Structure 1
Amino acid sequence: MKQAILLLSFGTPCEKSDLVPYMTSIRHGKAPSEGELEVLTARYDAIGQWDNVNLQTMGEQQKKSLETLLGVEDIYLAYLHKPHSMEQAIKAIVDAGYTSILSIVTSPFYSVVGTGAYERKLQAILQEYSHISLDNIQSWWDRSQFIEYWSSRLANLNPTQADTICIFSAHSVPVTTVGDYVFHITSAAEKIAERVNLNHWCTAWQSAPPYGEWLGPTIETVIEQALLEGAKRIICVPFGFVSDHVEILYDNDILCRRIVEVTGAVYERVPMPNGNALFMAGMAEAIKERINK
């Protein structure tokens, strides 16, 4: 049996013309209004999306890093919210003669609406290819490399000062789909906090849409409360995400920074892994372990 490795990523718009189909996919077929599109465009403008090749090619960079770590050349890359990307990847895999696919999502934590969305779409596409089997690695946050990456980068910021609070954040999910998501996020945060000997830390949730009932408290609320309680320095640790993109560079580095600095406090953030070899080694280890079973 030949097995292809399929790396799955969220995707990002590369040109302004990509925004409407991109957001329409994220919103399950509902196109953004003109007003919403103006707001979204302004946010991507603010982070320099249209001129930043690194932001536009992050998935490709992570794929190359993973191929180097695994010593293979046949990793396929597909995006959830780029038109036909997953369909094209599956067709290429089939055309290459593979009969089995091992998929892994760049996101380290499993949630029904997050990683689960990739699985559901893959299964729907594979209905046309009954001879192809699918195995999904649902999460890999418990790898030592994942914990080590965030611990070492956080430690570099001297986070144990008395007036400092570290806020670990991940993407919010609908309250009806929580499952083990909160437990895993909290467990990972506890491991990192213990490794770094943190005195003051908490978890928060970000990037929830303005509709429905989503998991809280929001990162904005947590920051405001920390400042009210006397924190003079806020360190954001968005370890539920894997790379620089609008939810980090705008939501954290612009919106959250504004909340912090208007009070005279200091805002800092742990650097995102992107294609970092240590971080990607956690993903590679998860793949090797599954292949060798």
Structure 2
Amino acid sequence: MSGPEAAAAATVSAASEFPYDAVLLAGFGGPEKPADVLPFLRNVTAARGVPEERLAEVGRHYEALGGVSPINEQTDALRTALQTELVDRGIALPVLWGNRNWNPYLIDTLREARDSGRHRLLAVTTSAYSSYSSCRQYRENFAAALIETDALGTVSIDKVRPYFDQPGFLDPFADGVAQALREALAGGLTADEVQIIFTTHSIPTAMADTSGSATLGEHGNGGAYVAQHLAAARYVAEQVADRVPHLGGELNWQLAYQSRSGSPSTPWLEPDVNDVLAEQAAAGARGVIVVPIGFVSDHVEVIWDLDREAADTAGDLGLRFWRVPTPGTDPRFVSALADLIAGRVGRGLPHEAVLDLPARPLACAPGCCANPRGVRPTTSGQDSADDVAVAGGASR
């Protein structure tokens, strides 16, 4: 142990001044060698009835990239950067790391936290938006791990709110779009000939419609998931217009979806990014800037679905193609996550709203982002009586 981790460990006794003993960075996880690919995909799709032939098809995406997903390396880099940022701010909390679907598993991380005397954890996930799969499912994973380790009642896990509206998350996208647009204009295209396509992971429409909170009026017509992405895209588009003077035309953008899975008979959010590319080419576009605004790092779904499939589609259609990087470990993004943590330990400033959406609570509202397969135990976003009661009544 060295550097920021050692500094955090050396000062862990000072953590008593905070309401938490540690920060838990919760990630999705990914295979680290070819033999891991199918077991990993089975973990991801457990209890969903996805046929083996579909898993094998997706597995070939990983195999084409050497059988290794970069997501674990990216999450570890984010953990290290976040630890450094917290130490620099004088917040003496170690940053632990646990994955939903692969090593290091959440259950092992929580067992180690419990055994080392860390019983109050504040979780940050690698998903920025509100939906069952990107928010509530993590809280279910936390509860399942607590139950499995017999730590329910002795270890608590709160989760910071979705951070889709943090400028530190969005501004790196704006910089990337502005750079791509400047290159397009310098290459002889006009603003009217370039389409900006924001992309995010498609989810079932029923899951989207119940994303967010009914009490906040967010259910229906795509729910909070779609509304948050549209608001984030509008913000980025406005920032790009400010960063690229003398556009000489309208800034054209739309939201599209990628990485659909599941049964073809189940409605999912559309349009698919590849269909949008075809529509734009038919409408006279000459270039596209694809912005993976739904993702925090350049993992396999970004690299394969956009850098391979979407880029190939654009090439076949004669479209010039740019793909904007995700925030990754951009210092502004790391600082934004640290701001959320600081706010929960009494070291933060009031939240600055930058999107045209109603203000959200600091933690997940009771019953938000419902599980489409029924109620399951969850941990709380912040002392939510509804969720704690569900978790406390769970059995193994």
Fold in common (TM above 0.5): yes
* CA-CA distance at 1:29 after TM superposition: 4.2
Higher share of residues assigned strand: 1
Structure 1 position 106, deviation (Å)? 1.3
Cα distance, 1:119–1:213 mapped onto 2, change above 3 Å: same
**Structure 1 vs Structure 2: percent identity of aligned residues?**
26
Give the Cα–Cα distance (whole angstroms) in 2 for the partners of residues 46 and 59 of structure 1: 21
- The aligned counterpart of 1:288 is 342
Deviations 1:225-262 (A, max 9, x none): 11111111011100101112221111111111111111
2:235 to 188, 191, 194: 191
Please give the TM-score of this superposition, normalised by the length of structure 1. 0.92
Aligned counterpart for 1:142 among listed residues 150, 165, 169: 165
Residue 231 of structure 2 is aligned to residue 201 of structure 1: no
The 3 A distance-change label for structure 1 pair 269 and 20 is same
Matches within 5 A, 1:1-293: 2-29=20-47, 35-50=53-68, 56-71=72-87, 72=92, 74-82=94-102, 85-127=105-147, 128-129=150-151, 130-158=153-181, 161-178=191-208, 179=211, 180-197=224-241, 199-211=251-263, 212-292=266-346
CA contact (8 A) 1:49 1:56 kept: no
**Structure 2 residues without counterparts, runs of 5 or longer:** 1-18, 183-189, 212-223, 242-249, 348-396
CA shift at 1:151, angstroms?
Answer: 0.9
Match of 1:162, SS state, is helix
Letter in 1 for 2:83: E
Aligned length: 291
TM-score (norm. length: structure 2): 0.69
- CA drift of 1:155 comes to 0.9
Q: How many angstroms apart in 2 are the aligned matches of 1:255 and 1:64? A: 32
Distance 1:84 1:67 in 2: 17
Deviations 1:34-86 (A, max 9, x none): 64454334312333454x8x555111111001111111561110111116711
The AA in structure 2 aligned to 1:147 is L
CA drift at 1:142: 1.2
Q: Is the 8 A contact 1:24 1:30 kept in 2?
A: no
Q: Distance in 1 between matches of 2:67 and 2:34?
A: 9
In structure 2, give the amino acid aligned to 1:133: S
Q: Structure 2: how far apart are the matches of 1:36 and 1:148?
A: 36
1:94-116 deviation digits (Å, cap 9, x = unpaired): 11212211001011112112222
Q: Is the 8 A contact 2:34 2:67 kept in 1?
A: no
Which has the larger displacement, 1-10 or 14-23? 1-10
- Check whether the contact 1:21–1:31 (CA below 8 A) recurs between aligned residues: no
Letter in 2 for 1:141: F
For structure 1, which runs of at least 5 residues remain unmatched after alignment?
none
Q: Deviations over 1:175-213 (max 9, x none)?
A: 112121111111101111111126100001111104122
How far residue 126 of structure 1 moved from its aligned partner, in angstroms, is 2.1
Whether the aligned pair in 2 keeps the contact of 1:20 and 1:32 (CA below 8 Å) is no
